[in-house]
């Protein structure tokens, strides 16, 4: 036993057999970077393409340096950068929820900066930048974290840099550590924050009057950071949806084996339904709710329940007493009547905070202050949902939607409705919420390669003297092209918490997108009989390893699911 | 897009890229079966080893034919069976909860029976046998289901064949379809049922006075069907624990990335803690509860809560505000005071069923009929736990333990205790129950190869004229040896529902087993700091594909985690 227990000891601290093997996996690079083993930085040049939003004028007024410098033009690779500077000191940080591939962004950055420049890790997230918590990242660190999941190498947090004091601290951190550039790896909010930071640090930071460059890298498992062909998908989405896809496929297989259960599965992804749609395309379950479709059709909760109950009844009529229902995390807020109720609740709670806190019967207190329709809707909901609807708001005064057990609510309502239709219809259901399991898994080959090349792109942008861009890699089914998106070209103005704010709009599922149209074309068939498939565990080796997300392939007009970088 | 949507259409009904690829994966066979592509049936001979339990005499009296024929001797392979009969008609069925690899048992059976014999599938489970629902399994079926997860090819159910009428129906099914042998793929109860069936069908079934052979195959993800070196593990355990292991590894990685959450994860596995122990050995989390240890130490619920709360506080003292707690599904019943409470509740509910049903305040009704200590314990539990403790019993009058949200109970009690210790200790926790996700995943290479060889063994036993045995493959790290365990050699008498029943005892975790000892030797270190590793998604190709369960490797004295069949 001693040999084996020695081996087990060596597996502690990220040295499972899988983790050790995956570190040795070679990563392909876009042709623009030259050799895969020793990738070179590329130089960039403005492509003809210029971005802009309806709020372009106000953006230009608020981000004068950035807009003047970039002209909001998309950058394309223009050959290897033979004049890359030396001695650059670059800081990198994670911002927001973790997503698979983050470590490889850091690895790509380190490799392209090479031994002539210095890379610092900021720990954890924007908070670490404010506090000045930096450490030098070594080659040994890179060899250790490459191809592993999670953000644990640097940690992450959700601090938004917005007060004058916070900006001053960031400037101090840069000065104290002679930082020349910052790479922010994050979602829509974090990239908006990167744009603000880029403008703030554009010049006059250092003694010689120069500034600090800021580059964003697009991360989010939610898939709601998409910019057409320029950013077909953020990193982490593929890994998360393949993890959820495997679990849903396993459960589908279980329904047809056990022959007696329905499973209602809620999937992470905040507002947009991209995750749910991708998992549905992978697995083909009986029922898939899409929040954006519910909003467009203005469906009521009762109508959704009726649709599910009818589908259950039809299947039972064919002897199929089982099935799977996929539910997007944010669906509640897309049901118009629920959205109206939640909005009025937010108002009532904000305006009567003290009285509400003191009220003995909170539901009654609130009901008395709601309009009649909303009071009736609230009264129709089970106690555990009312409790969550009245629970503490987040720091922005918003309901924490993920805490509402939508999957249990739907099970209970469908069960009650089936009792009305026909008390003999068998209906036994289990609930699941798949979320945290998907954020920190080992990256798929797609995410591993994509993020490594995002890191190479971000590093190249820094060595090319750019600031205020988001790194991207396009043409993921045709070799991959490093590009840069001017962050100011993405900004819109949105009213949040009573004041105008610049934001990168979240990309919702478009009803007319090829992926949604494909789902709509097959959904009825999947409800009528078991046509599901099981995507299986994601493979890093062998014939099943090179798949990109189905929705991304459909929306980008790819001819197959195979991605191709390099 | 048309090319891609055509490809997507073809992926429906179990044709994902993974499923298509995995069907072509070659499977190794034990040397005893000769060639891997055309495996030959083996003949068997009694080894010197004879099994028996304390109730051997009563078993011999109740199973006279079986015991006389087998002498309770373990069988070992004795060369290729060159005299294998032709024209045998064999029925195979799944019994109980699904487990990965079941399809490969059927594939192995079909391959070893070859074209000269006929294999029938029974659909679904024992119920299908009673109803006579059989269909012939073809080579095309085998090519379709090989290496895929779940039991959906045949379906399964939990019917226990026990009444005279049921036995008569089974006999009728055999006669009507001229069945010569039945293979029951199931857990401890199903194999007990197989022993009873083997005795009942031993002779005098057919016109010529001959009987119907019955062979069991050891399945269960719970891992509680183990017989020393003769059956180091049942099939399905490896796949389930690797699925849970990946999820737990992902969540561990998330805790160290997000730096602010505890995750309390309950793991399927009914009574025994094998699943939880294996997942702990794979991932090395901060805290692992083992039911058998709690029972042995006679720990109270309060003591368990105190232990977790202290561990949380110690980590917070080091700046580690996160961690993972693994909880075996059945832990509640192993806490002596809870076990006593549940037993008394079962009694009260059984004896006052009508009054209880009519009672308005059920908790008060019950509390008035409990002994004082139990009433006090019940009163100390949160309402949602009391509700589950008073919920409907299963058909045996037992509490449905899996419905009790032990993970939430522990979170709430730990939170309350931490408030007492120091209100400033940060503690935010999420709950998970990993269960159904793990039963029907695609089998690991270990389970795929193991089950295929179990099928070859079961078929060989039939062609060798044997009945009343469980097929097994031993020496899984040294090439694999097909063997047969006489079912009557495993039977004990247990008092269930007021009467004596023959049972195969569930194997619980032994405190002095090498696996448990290893866990105990490392657990304090894993609590003190993050030493976890992430086992990653199970691989079917590449350098990380050939791992056996860690607990099995430790308990069987293997020198490495690599299994070796063939």
One-character DSSP codes across A110-139: HHHH-TTSEEEEETTHHHHHHHT-EEEPPH
Q: What is the pLDDT of residues A416-435, one digit of tens each?
A: 999 999 999 999 999 999 99
Position A158 pLDDT exceeds 90: yes
Q: What is the pLDDT of residues A350-379, one digit of tens each?
A: 889 899 989 988 889 999 999 999 999 999
Looking at the complex, does the CB of residue A310 fall below 8 Å from at least one CB of chain B? no
Position B270 scores a pLDDT of: 83
Looking at the complex, does the CB of residue B535 fall below 8 Å from at least one CB of chain A? yes
**pLDDT top residue among B551 and B387:** B551
Q: Looking at beta carbons, which residues of chain B come within 8 Å of A19?
A: 533-534, 536
Q: Residue A550 and residue B149: Cβ atoms within 8 Å?
A: no
Looking at the complex, does the CB of residue A126 fall below 8 Å from at least one CB of chain B? no
Nearest Cβ partner for B149 among A253, A442, A560: A253
Position B495 scores a pLDDT of: 83
Label residue B396 by pLDDT band (50, 70, 90). Answer: low
Q: What is the pLDDT of residues A402-413, one digit of tens each?
A: 788 999 999 999
Give the number of C-alpha atoms closer than 13 A to the C-alpha of residue A473, restricted to the C-beta side. 36
Position B260 pLDDT exceeds 80: yes
Position A188 pLDDT exceeds 90: yes
* Nearest chain B alpha carbon to A282: B16
Position B434 pLDDT exceeds 90: yes
- Going by C-beta distance under 8 Å and a sequence separation of 6 or more, which residues neighbour residue B212? B174, B179, B180, B181, B182, B201, B205, B206, B467
CA distance A281 to chain B (A): 8
Position A400 scores a pLDDT of: 80
Question: Sign of the C-alpha dihedral, residues B456, B462, B464, B469?
Answer: positive
Position A1 pLDDT exceeds 50: no
CA distance B69 to chain A (A): 35
Position B37 scores a pLDDT of: 84
Structure tokens at B151: 């039991």
Nearest Cβ partner for A547 among B17, B530, B550: B17
Looking at the complex, does the CB of residue B5 fall below 8 Å from at least one CB of chain A? yes
Q: Residue B537 and residue A442: Cβ atoms within 8 Å?
A: yes
Position B2 pLDDT exceeds 80: no
Q: Residue B536 and residue A438: Cβ atoms within 8 Å?
A: no
Q: What is the pLDDT of residues B316-374, one digit of tens each?
A: 999 999 999 999 999 999 999 999 999 999 889 888 989 998 998 888 999 999 999 99
Q: Residue B257 and residue A440: Cβ atoms within 8 Å?
A: yes
One-character DSSP codes across A181-225: EEEEEE-HHHHHHHHHHHHHTSSS-STTS---EEEEEEB-TT---
For residue B361, give the 3-state DSSP assignment.
Answer: coil
Position B497 pLDDT exceeds 80: no
Position A2 scores a pLDDT of: 62
Looking at the complex, does the CB of residue B15 fall below 8 Å from at least one CB of chain A? yes
CA distance A275 to chain B (A): 18
* Nearest chain A alpha carbon to B532: A13
Label residue B498 by pLDDT band (50, 70, 90). Answer: confident
Nearest Cβ partner for A18 among B12, B22, B544: B544
Q: Looking at beta carbons, which residues of chain B come within 8 Å of A221?
A: none
* A201-206 long-range contacts, CB within 8 A, separation 24+: A201/A170, A201/A171, A201/A174, A201/A467, A202/A65, A202/A66, A202/A69, A202/A467, A202/A468, A203/A65, A205/A171, A205/A174, A205/A175, A206/A174, A206/A175, A206/A178
Structure tokens at B400: 């449905």
Query: Do B47 and B74 touch, CB atoms closer than 8 A?
Result: yes
Position A474 pLDDT exceeds 70: yes
Position A350 scores a pLDDT of: 86
**A533, A540, A559, A562: best to mutate for the B interface, most B CBs within 10 A:** A533
Q: Which of B188, B189, B222, B447 is catalytic?
A: B222
* Nearest chain A alpha carbon to B513: A1
Which residues numbered 414-433 in A keep a CB inside 8 Å of some CB on B?
A: 430, 432
Looking at the complex, does the CB of residue A542 fall below 8 Å from at least one CB of chain B? yes
Label residue A396 by pLDDT band (50, 70, 90). Answer: low
Looking at the complex, does the CB of residue A8 fall below 8 Å from at least one CB of chain B? yes
**pLDDT top residue among B495 and B88:** B88
How many other β-carbons are positioned within 10 Å of the β-carbon of residue A168?
12
**A253, A262, A280, A550: best to mutate for the B interface, most B CBs within 10 A:** A253
Position B491 scores a pLDDT of: 98
Type and span of the H or E element at B296 = helix B291-297
> Exposure string (b/e) for B299-316, b if CB count within 10 Å is 16 or more?
bebeebbbebbebbeebb
CA distance B125 to chain A (A): 10
Q: In this complex, how many residue pairs, one in chain A and one in chain B, have their CB atoms less than 8 Å apart? A: 269
* Nearest chain B alpha carbon to A152: B257
* A13-17 long-range contacts, CB within 8 A, separation 24+: A13/B530, A13/B531, A13/B532, A13/B533, A14/A144, A14/A148, A14/B532, A14/B533, A14/B534, A15/B533, A16/B249, A16/B282, A16/B533, A16/B534, A16/B535, A16/B536, A17/B535, A17/B543, A17/B544, A17/B547, A17/B561
Looking at the complex, does the CB of residue A22 fall below 8 Å from at least one CB of chain B? yes
Q: What is the pLDDT of residues A121-157, one digit of tens each?
A: 999 999 999 999 999 999 999 999 999 999 999 999 9
Q: What is the pLDDT of residues A191-250, one digit of tens each?
A: 999 999 999 999 999 999 999 999 999 999 999 999 999 999 999 999 999 999 999 999
Q: Which of A180, A222, A224, A412 is catalytic?
A: A222
Which residues numbered 57-96 in B keep a CB inside 8 Å of some CB on A?
A: 94
CA distance B555 to chain A (A): 9
**Average pLDDT in chain A:** 96
Question: Which whole number is the average pLDDT over A548-559?
Answer: 97
* Nearest chain A alpha carbon to B261: A436
Structure tokens at B153: 């090819």
Q: Residue B17 and residue A544: Cβ atoms within 8 Å?
A: yes
Q: Residue B441 and residue A557: Cβ atoms within 8 Å?
A: no
ipTM of the complex: 0.97
In whole angstroms, what is the distance from residue A19 CA to residue A9 CA?
14
* Nearest chain A alpha carbon to B530: A13
Nearest Cβ partner for B4 among A254, A547, A554: A554
Q: Residue B561 and residue A7: Cβ atoms within 8 Å?
A: yes
Question: Which whole number is the average pLDDT over B522-536?
Answer: 98
Looking at the complex, does the CB of residue B152 fall below 8 Å from at least one CB of chain A? yes
CA distance A151 to chain B (A): 5
CA separation, residue A346 to residues A370, A398, A403 (Å): 11, 7, 15
Q: Looking at beta carbons, which residues of chain B come within 8 Å of A559?
A: 3-4
Looking at the complex, does the CB of residue A7 fall below 8 Å from at least one CB of chain B? yes
Question: Which whole number is the average pLDDT over A25-30?
Answer: 97
Burial class (CB in 10 A: 0-12, 13-18, 19+), A34: middle
* Nearest chain A alpha carbon to B281: A8
Question: Which whole number is the average pLDDT over B229-238?
Answer: 98
Q: Looking at beta carbons, which residues of chain B come within 8 Å of A440?
A: 250-251, 253-254, 257
Note the Cα A393 to chain centre separation in Å. 22
Position B398 pLDDT exceeds 80: no
Q: Looking at beta carbons, which residues of chain B come within 8 Å of A544?
A: 17-18, 21-22, 540-541
**Average pLDDT in chain B:** 96
Whether B222 sits among the annotated catalytic residues: the reply is yes
Note the Cα B102 to chain centre separation in Å. 12
Nearest Cβ partner for B553 among A4, A281, A543: A4
């Amino acid at each position: 036993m001693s040999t084996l227990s020695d081996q087990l000891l060596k597996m502690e601290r990220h040295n499972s057999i899988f983790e050790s093997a995956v570190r040795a996996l070679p990563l392909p690079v876009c042709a623009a970077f030259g050799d895969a083993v020793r990738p070179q930085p590329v130089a960039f040049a403005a492509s003809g393409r210029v971005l802009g939003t309806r709020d372009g004028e106000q953006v230009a007024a608020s981000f004068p340096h950035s807009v003047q410098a970039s002209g909001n033009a998309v950058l394309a690779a223009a050959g290897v950068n033979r004049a890359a500077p030396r001695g650059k000191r670059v800081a990198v940080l994670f911002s927001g929820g973790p997503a698979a591939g983050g470590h490889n962004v850091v690895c790509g950055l380190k490799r392209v900066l090479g031994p002539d420049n210095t890379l610092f890790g900021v720990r954890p997230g924007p908070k670490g930048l404010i506090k000045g918590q930096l450490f030098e990242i070594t080659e040994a660190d890179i060899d250790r974290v490459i191809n592993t999941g999670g953000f644990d190498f640097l940690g992450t947090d959700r601090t938004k840099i917005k007060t004058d004091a916070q900006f001053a601290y960031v400037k101090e951190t840069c000065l104290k550590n002679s930082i020349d550039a910052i790479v922010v790896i994050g979602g829509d909010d974090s990239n908006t924050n990167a744009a603000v930071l880029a403008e703030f640090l554009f010049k006059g930071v250092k003694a010689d009057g120069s500034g600090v460059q800021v580059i964003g890298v697009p991360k989010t498992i939610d898939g709601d950071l998409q910019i057409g062909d320029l950013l077909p998908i953020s990193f982490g989405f593929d890994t998360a949806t393949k993890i959820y896809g495997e679990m849903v496929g396993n459960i589908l297989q279980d329904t047809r084996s056990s022959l007696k259960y329905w499973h209602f599965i809620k999937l992470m992804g905040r507002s947009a339904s991209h995750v749910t749609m991708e998992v549905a395309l992978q697995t083909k379950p009986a029922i898939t709710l899409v929040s954006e479709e519910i909003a467009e059709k203005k469906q009521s909760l009762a109508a959704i329940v009726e649709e599910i109950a009818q589908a259950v009844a039809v299947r039972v009529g064919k002897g199929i007493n089982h099935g799977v229902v996929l539910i997007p995390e944010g669906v509640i807020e897309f049901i118009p009547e629920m959205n109206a109720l939640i909005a009025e609740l937010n108002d009532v709670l904000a305006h009567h905070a003290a009285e509400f806190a003191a009220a003995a019967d909170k539901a009654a207190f609130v009901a008395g202050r709601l309009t009649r329709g909303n009071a009736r809707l609230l009264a129709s909901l089970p106690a555990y949902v009312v409790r969550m609807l009245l629970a503490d708001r987040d720091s922005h005064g918003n309901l924490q939607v993920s805490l509402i057990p939508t999957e249990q609510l739907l099970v209970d309502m469908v069960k009650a409705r089936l009792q009305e239709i026909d008390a003999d219809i068998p209906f036994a259901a289990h609930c699941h919420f798949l979320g945290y399991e998907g954020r920190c898994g080992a990256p798929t080959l797609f995410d591993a390669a994509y993020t490594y090349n995002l890191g190479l792109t971000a590093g190249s942008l820094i060595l090319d003297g750019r600031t205020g861009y988001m790194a991207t890699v396009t043409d993921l089914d045709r070799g991959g092209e490093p590009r840069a998106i001017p962050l100011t070209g993405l900004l819109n103005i949105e009213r949040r918490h009573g004041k105008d704010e610049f934001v990168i709009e979240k990309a919702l599922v478009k009803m007319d997108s090829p992926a949604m149209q494909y789902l709509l074309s097959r959904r009825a068939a999947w409800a009528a009989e078991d046509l599901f498939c099981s995507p299986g565990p994601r493979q890093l080796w062998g014939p099943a390893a090179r798949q990109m997300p189905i929705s991304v392939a459909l929306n980008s007009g790819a001819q197959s699911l195979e991605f191709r970088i390099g």
